Amino acid sequence: MAKSKGDIETRAEVILKGIAASPGIVVGPCYLCSHLNWQPEPQVVDPANIPTQIERFRESVERTHRELQKTYRTTREQFGQELAEVLEMQVALLEDQFFLKEVEDMIAANKVDAAYATFVVFRKKKEYFLKMSNDYFRDRAFDIQALKEMIIRNIAGSAQSCLEDFTPGSIIIADNLSPNDTVALHQKKVLGVATNAGGKMSHTAIVARSLGVPAVLGLKNITERVQTGDVIILDGNSGKVILNPSDRTREQYETQQEKFLEIQQILLEECAQETYSKDGRRIFLHANIEFEEEMPHLLSVKPDGIGLFRTEGLFLNQQEMPSEDQQAEIYSRVAEQMHPKPVVIRTLDIGGDKIVPGIATISEDNPFLGWRAIRFWLDHQAGFVMQLKAILRANIHGNVQILLPMVSSLGEVLQSKQLLEEAKRLLKKEGKPFGEEIDLGIMIEIPSVVILADILAREVDFFSIGTNDLVQYTLAVDRGNEKVAKLYSHFHPAILRMVKTTLDAGKYAGIPVNMCGEMAGDPQAIPLLLAMGFEHLSASHMTVPHIKRIIRELSLPECEELYQAVKSLELTEDIISCVEQFYRERFTSMLGETQ
């Protein structure tokens, strides 16, 4: 039903909160994109027509494959290979004969039509990925959903998507967008992206950030709250979408938008300078990455090194485990680009509910407390030694370090050190060049290692605090569970005490202590971390310019004053209120953020 002018004028301003996936502020009309989300009714197929249905499925897959390849080529030509590679996940799925055979088998076994079989098989695969604890794997579920929609649309003979009538200069509103949809929208001059689904590691988010398109994802029901033509505000910095904004709110955000763009350019230019606090304390700000393709963006913000190179990305979308040579090539290229700055490579943090091609995995009732990371690798020592050899080979210039994830005991460290020596022995025997002198560190993300930090500090060269899991395991809070997510906070007094305990143990033993979790990339936490004594922090390369500016505007005395005030508080909410007020008073206006 059309809305009358009176209806529009009297509608109240509404603020929706989602995931800040790509920074930027935009104000403009929205365009509602209705994807193919319906469930096709199963059509019973006569046995004689089963080959026909299988052929329809194969033809639709081939048609979808051509569409994706066309988008891939266009993206590569216009935006470069780095961004085009984001689309390869979907192309790879369409080339996975084992996966596609599941649909054909269902058509034959259940005597159902191609559209229904596609819907069921892809839905099961999507649900499987959604249950995984790793953000990257969960976000791959949306790639599978997008493929399902494209294939079913082609089976039905309706190749036209909702984007055909998109109006340039609009904010797209959708349940979810595939990577090729997002690229196509950029070509159509999309203003911003807001979706019900998706996360920070989804391909939609990755493409949006790469193209500089502001995006807020995970809004759950925004498609039910707006209609095409509604003017909204999308704030990709804070993850907010404002419906029916008042004239005053619009003016405020338009001013913020201009200021944000100016400040982003200034912050990027400042990145070339070393980072010192106001009173001259040198702080080393490193960046986290998972894919080699992120290197151009990382280098543009000029970090002091790579504080966390997650290697899981190398093992994704592979029909078999990457070889030692394949791994060594990638690690070496990254190390070479960063030399002489350090590169901390974390060994494979996977297992439990996560897929590792070529290695059998088991189904676990509680994968968060299960067979993953260092536990998994110590049970697959051949694969572990192979990765250690690859990392050693990348250490030719001596700027690579090894980081072990999810360590919970001294025994795991000692066993890993033995395997590291075995890797060196094998490389010498094989005559392969490598850097023998290499630092070995552990992630501090399980309470047991905080308690044993003084003992472990004698066996390793450095600590790296992973606050994401440390909070989860200490507070017994599943950060992906909406019912208890409000309890998850790195400002909990127990977390602050554990962080300080770890830092003190490392300093007493004379080893560096880095922080690479989300807390290190939280601007409001920076004053507390400086007051505790941190000199090495590692955050997403997207936040590095912002954090550098925060540090430059702080002096140690005022950080210590805030820390002492926080130490006297016993409730998490009081601590959050205290640090928020400190941040708001000093930085909100300066950094062009909305309050």
Closest by Cα among 243, 251, 325, 333 to 294: 333
- Find where tokens 């998972």 sit: 290
- Residue 256 forms beta bridges with which residues? none
- Pick left, alpha or beta for residue 373 (phi over 0 → left; psi -120 to 50 → alpha; otherwise beta): left
Dist. CA 245–CA 178, nearest whole Å:
29
Which helix (H) or strand (E) segment holds residue 233: the answer is strand 231-235
Q: How many CA atoms lie within 13 A of 491 on its CB side?
A: 22
Residue 346 token pair? 């974390």
| DSSP class per residue in 370-421 | SSBHHHHHHTSHHHHHHHHHHHHHTTTTS-EEEEE-S--SHHHHHHHHHHHH
Query: Could you give the 3-state DSSP secondary structure of residue 197?
Result: coil
How does DSSP classify residue 372? B
Query: Could you give the 3-state DSSP secondary structure of residue 457?
Result: coil
Instruction: Give the chain's radius of gyration (CA, Å).
Output: 25
Dist. CA 477–CA 321, nearest whole Å:
32
Residue 516 a catalytic site member: yes
Dist. CA 503–CA 184, nearest whole Å:
48
- Pick left, alpha or beta for residue 137 (phi over 0 → left; psi -120 to 50 → alpha; otherwise beta): alpha
Residue 329 token pair? 């090539």
Catalytic residue among 516, 541, 546, 559: 516
Catalytic residue among 33, 35, 186, 203: 203
Enzyme catalytic residues: 203, 516
